[in-house]
Copies of this chain bind each other. A is one copy, B any other.
């Protein structure tokens, strides 16, 4: 089984999933996560590459925190942000779980039709 081991995380609630997917649904926040992958950053460091005001960046960070994707440590007057994997694990758990169902459902659906019904509406 090596290191995969998903599902060690409790089932996320609807609220959790709302917050996580919502946090991920913005490209600035995803870019912040990308940036955070290279190491911890202050709010200012996070704001800079996006030509964004500090309060703007701060709000995004708060959304990421609320989703459990980022942790903030206050170190004097500096707020240092790091990735927190739990949030992503929850999102991944939801997607993976559903993906299995989808594949199964689509599988049996395909074998049930298997002769292209009305899909020509593309």
Residues of A that sit less than 8 Å from B by CB: 14, 17-18, 21-22, 24-27, 30, 33-34, 37-40, 71-75, 82-83, 85, 88-89, 91-92, 95-96, 98-99, 101-103, 105-106, 109, 117-119, 121
When A39-B105, A88-B99 are in contact, do A26 and B33 touch as well, CB less than 8 Å? no
Collect the chain B residues with CB atoms within 8 Å of residue A21's CB: 21-22, 24-25
A65 to B45, CA, bound (A): 37
- A88 x B83 contact (CB < 8 A): no
Copies of this protein in the assembly total 2
Q: Which secondary structure characterizes the binding site on chain A?
A: helix
Collect the chain B residues with CB atoms within 8 Å of residue A71's CB: 119
